[in-house]
Structure 1
Amino acid sequence: MSFSQNKQVLYGFSEIPQALMVNPGIKVNNRGYFGIPLLSHIHVSAGTSGTTVYDIFSNDGVDFNTKLRRAVNKMKPNDFFTLTQQLEILSGGFEIGTFFKKKGYLSFGLYQETDFIAYFPKDMAILALEGNANNIGKPFNLKHVNLRGEVLSVYHIGYNEKVNSDFTYGFRGKIYSSIANVNSIRNRGVFITVPGENNFYTHLFNLDLELQTSGINSIVEDDSDFSGKDIVKRTLFGGNLGLGFDIGFTYNVTKQWSWDASVLDVGFVRHSKDVKNYKVEGVYEFEGINPLFPESDEGQTAEDYWNEVGEDFEALFELDSTKSKYTTWRPIKLNTSINYAFEKQKYEDCDCLRKDDRYLNAVGLQLYAIKRPRQPQMALTTYYYRQLFKGLRAKATYTLDSFSYSNIGLGISAYLGSLNFYVMADNFLSLRNVYDAQSVSLQFGFNYIFNKNED
């Protein structure tokens, strides 16, 4: 499966109102719309940038432990696992007048989003797989432990204006209401095993680890009475709040060449409610287990002995728990593309062009980037767009990214009167074996659109 906040098929698909969410400065071709509640935009994706499920669990006659060892050795600390999900709850938009007697476009809505990323803790995986007996003197890097996840709702209102035939701009303000957050991205430290003086081995820990959470403690605590009403409350401005914005534009370089760009989710969330943080910091030494059990006449059983060993190990680390407020920044996204449109539609009864200035075909190149805890992730997409019939449009994409060099996507937008339906997916070549896919995403939705009159 895949990381896929990149909506390369939706980007630039101007007939679909949700394209405003990936570029608030796109050209708008309708007088207004409203999304069918809970069905106007559904987007899901999940996955890994390294080893796939098929690599480990395929029935190919190779021993499971061998495949697991290969997978651990193959993956790198910058490989990651992700889950992305969006559900648009309400959305709409309509034309408005401005003080300058130009027509603008106002859009608004509410959506829920889940975004989770965890990097592969390679040294910890090797330690779990091989143990430390064969790795004496080898330092295991705890910086590899790195994850971030959030479930939130987003209220937004945007403005779009066509300044002239060549330039359109737009911006969108957002209020975030975080439902739950987990954040652990600044970990440092090492674990190393060396020959001991009082025992076979001495285990040394140099730790600076922190886990920040909000909205989690009230769910997992033993006497919790957390319910669905609490989720609704946090969705409706009852969670940890934050602010953000999107900006974007479209510029016609010539009648057929255009350039557009957008920057999304420039914002933050301030976590002050239901906060619980955990921190371990310092240098610790553990000499391990005494290989000889105490004499039985001392009155200590084997069970007592092992319980004492476990308690000593747990007592070794000083785990600090706090309720300190903290701030997280949203993952900023950049989109930009250059496009070439061609072939205008003609009337059936004569060899003359329609007054509508839109073209039937377009090709282009799009660059996408998103800021992540370790490093930015990028994708490059080329596409072909075609208006097949008056009520049917299609877009095909080919994307190069950190997951695949063969990601082919397809999206269609269809009209039944004023009712619009769209569906989009990518990495079609991997659908023959979805368990071996590294990049799969799906999005679809329904809108009611008030289209402009056409000749």
Structure 2
Amino acid sequence: MRKEYLILLLFMSISCFSQNKQILYNFSTVPQSLLTNPGTDFKYKYYFGVSLLSGVSLNVGSTGFSAYDLFANNGVDFNIKLREAVASTTRKDKVTLNEQIELFNGGFKVGDWQNHGYVSFGMYQEFDFISYVPKDLAILALEGNSNYLGKRFDLGDLKLKAEMLSVLHFGYHKDIKENLIVGARAKIYSSIFNATSSNNSGYIYTIPSTTTAYEQVIYSNLQLNTSGVSGYFDENSDVDAARDIKKKTFLGGNLGLGFDLGFTYYPKKNIQITASILDVGFIRHSKEVETFTFKGLYKYEGINPSFNDSDAPSNIYQEFNDAIPLDTIYSKYTTWRPAKLNASYQYAFDDSRAGADCNCIGDDADYKNAVGAQLFVMTAPRAPIMALTGYYRRNVLSNLQMKATYTIDSYSYTNIGLGLSTNLGKFNMYVMADNLLEYRDISKANSLSFQFGLNFVFKDDNEPY
């Protein structure tokens, strides 16, 4: 029985991806910025993060409705609010959750300041979830089909991919020229659990019949692939969840490979262009694999049938199960990580060297202020997820940097964010938050994100900055 509940939950829930980190991107005083662009202009001699606290981030968001629309204490019946929320959405609307925790992280410079590279490494755990609104099926569940005779309810709305994984990574970047830095990062993915379903199709429609009350047709071509969860829903299983997750986190799960690429280029000493592509990779699922299918065609003529009552007249319940059975097969499958593209242009001004005689190019720390724009694009099942950010950076003090952002995306047109990074001796601390205007009443927010981290950083006394 628990397996049936899991399958129903996953088919009604849906898909998953990592999110935009526009405040962290190119915020080069923060070591974790290397994870958003392996070619970041990064200056520390070496650093290491505080285990489990060096990089913590949480991002939640929804389009089409907010928590307030459903749970406001305004005297409106919940069922009415739910119907209104569904009516206001489209099949492209989504609910998202992304969480990331660094287990360990570090990096060090190799070579001298005139000709050097940088090695970085670490491991983080990540959970991604995104649920597209299956509007047709939500209407059918809430209102039934009596007012929608002849409407074709589309089962293809169901597309999903949800995953918890760990990522072990090794990066290297190199100053190719005085004004050009390129970097790459290799990744080993270890999937803790996965649920994915794509290319679903099917329909449900009901029309008046010429011989009986109704003619109803259900055509289903649904498939759900899962890995890493079968043991939890076996009634005879004695799996220790904590031990199992720990084992899979440290490369004991379903494995995959991926890479990141990025660069930073200074066409002029105060103009910076960056770009990165992240998570080009795949995971091969071969352990604890179960695939569930609902495939078949059922045609019924008569009064409204009941498909969940084994005592229904003419045993309609059994006929339905025979026509569209739940089958379980065990076969390997491959999933691709959602690739993410970042690009930015930045103009820096207010030279902090006050006219000092230096021909240095590509030193972002030379300027107190900078303004720029960043584009973010991520692959998704229905349409790419995109965001455009304008930002302002300022070196407030020699050991305090600030970045303010304004982002336009599918969640909000009023997304203002702020990030602060400070060095207290060898100790680096950063905190970043998004959608600050919504903190007045977070129940009305369509998206919120928060990041913080603690690192130890060490500068090179010979560096010219």
Q: Work out which of the residue numbers 24, 30, 34 in structure 2 matches 1:20.
A: 34
The superposition leaves residues 63-100 of structure 1 with CA deviations (integer Å, 9 ceiling, x where unpaired) of: 433322221111000111111011100110001139x9
Q: Distance in 2 between matches of 1:118 and 1:305?
A: 33
Give the deviation of 1:132 after TM superposition.
1.1
Maintained 8 Å contact 2:173/2:183 = yes
The superposition leaves residues 107-151 of structure 1 with CA deviations (integer Å, 9 ceiling, x where unpaired) of: 000000111122110000110111012212111011111221110
Which residue identity is paired with 1:193?
T
Give the deviation of 1:224 after TM superposition.
2.0
1:294 alignment partner in structure 2: none
Give the deviation of 1:451 after TM superposition.
1.4
Secondary structure, aligned partner of 2:108: strand
Q: Work out which of the residue numbers 93, 96, 99 in structure 2 matches 1:85.
A: 99
State yes or no: 1:167 paired with 2:180. Answer: yes
TM-score (norm 1): 0.92
State yes or no: 1:270 paired with 2:284. Answer: yes
Give the deviation of 1:273 after TM superposition.
0.6
Maintained 8 Å contact 1:383/1:397 = yes
TM-score (norm 2): 0.90
State yes or no: 1:332 paired with 2:339. Answer: yes
Q: How many aligned residue pairs are there? A: 439
Q: 1:354 to 1:439 in 2, by over 3 A?
A: farther
Gaps of 5+ in 1: 292-301
Give the deviation of 1:405 after TM superposition.
0.7
State yes or no: 1:422 paired with 2:430. Answer: yes
Q: Work out which of the residue numbers 60, 64, 73 in structure 2 matches 1:50.
A: 64
Q: Distance in 2 between matches of 1:304 and 1:10?
A: 59
The superposition leaves residues 199-235 of structure 1 with CA deviations (integer Å, 9 ceiling, x where unpaired) of: 5223201221111100111112212222211111111
1:377 alignment partner in structure 2: 385
Q: 1:305 to 1:369 in 2, by over 3 A?
A: closer
2:3 alignment partner in structure 1: none
> What is the Cα-based RMSD across aligned positions, in Å?
2.3
Q: Identify the range of structure 1 (383-392 vs 221-230) with the bigger mean alpha-carbon deviation.
A: 221-230
Identity of aligned residues (%): 49
Give the deviation of 1:6 after TM superposition.
0.4
Q: Distance in 2 between matches of 1:191 and 1:13?
A: 50
Maintained 8 Å contact 1:4/1:46 = no
Maintained 8 Å contact 2:183/2:262 = yes
2:162 alignment partner in structure 1: 149
Give the deviation of 1:307 after TM superposition.
11
Secondary structure, aligned partner of 2:295: strand
Q: Work out which of the residue numbers 319, 323, 327 in structure 2 matches 1:316.
A: 323
Secondary structure, aligned partner of 2:411: coil
Maintained 8 Å contact 1:151/1:180 = yes
Maintained 8 Å contact 2:214/2:304 = no
2:410 alignment partner in structure 1: 402
2:351 alignment partner in structure 1: 344
Maintained 8 Å contact 2:17/2:129 = no
Describe how 1:39-438 pairs up with structure 2 within 5 A: 39-97=53-111, 102-196=115-209, 199-227=212-240, 228-287=242-301, 304=311, 308-346=315-353, 353=356, 357=363, 358-438=366-446
Q: Distance in 1 between matches of 2:22 and 2:89?
A: 26
2:11 alignment partner in structure 1: none
Q: Identify the range of structure 1 (353-362 vs 145-154) with the bigger mean alpha-carbon deviation.
A: 353-362
Secondary structure, aligned partner of 1:169: strand
Maintained 8 Å contact 2:18/2:338 = no
Maintained 8 Å contact 1:210/1:278 = yes
Which residue identity is paired with 2:325?
E
The superposition leaves residues 257-298 of structure 1 with CA deviations (integer Å, 9 ceiling, x where unpaired) of: 11100000000000111000011223211346699xxxxxxx
Q: 1:250 to 1:308 in 2, by over 3 A?
A: same
Which residue identity is paired with 1:383?
Y
Maintained 8 Å contact 1:370/1:376 = yes
